[in-house]
Amino acid sequence: MFSVLANPIRREILDVLRSGPQTVNELAARFEIGRPAVSEHLQVLRAAGLVRDEPRGRSRIYRLEAAGLAEAADWFHPFERYWRGRLRGLRETLDELHAATPDPDEETHD
């Protein structure tokens, strides 16, 4: 799952599919890569259970399959508290540094 989501084009495809179903041609029009490359990314996403396709005439319509993403979110959830704490600590440190650093725009009088 993580190697599938590591690819930025695949993440972008998933993001586009959040707004609704799309054909390969509609998706390919959004990227600077060709239709065959988009089709390959869709096949990887389909194999991972993140999208599903339905034949419609001579086209295939791709839809987001949110259940696959829920599985990844469930795995990440325990780490959320850890990262929030780490980011809170970073914010506090940056606030302290900012408070201790003189403003270069302020005039100092000797």
Q: For the chain, which domains are there?
A: 2-66 (1.10.10.10)
Helices (H) and strands (E) in the chain, counts: 5, 3
Q: What is the pLDDT of residue 70?
A: 81
Angle in degrees, CA 14, 62, 52, rounded to 5: 90
Alpha carbon distance 38, 41 (integer Å)? 5
Q: Supply the pTM of this predicted model.
A: 0.67
Sign of CA dihedral 13, 23, 38, 72: positive
| Residues forming beta bridges with residue 53, ordered by sequence position | 62
CA atoms of 55 and 63, how far apart (whole Å): 11
Does residue 107 surpass a pLDDT of 70? Answer: no
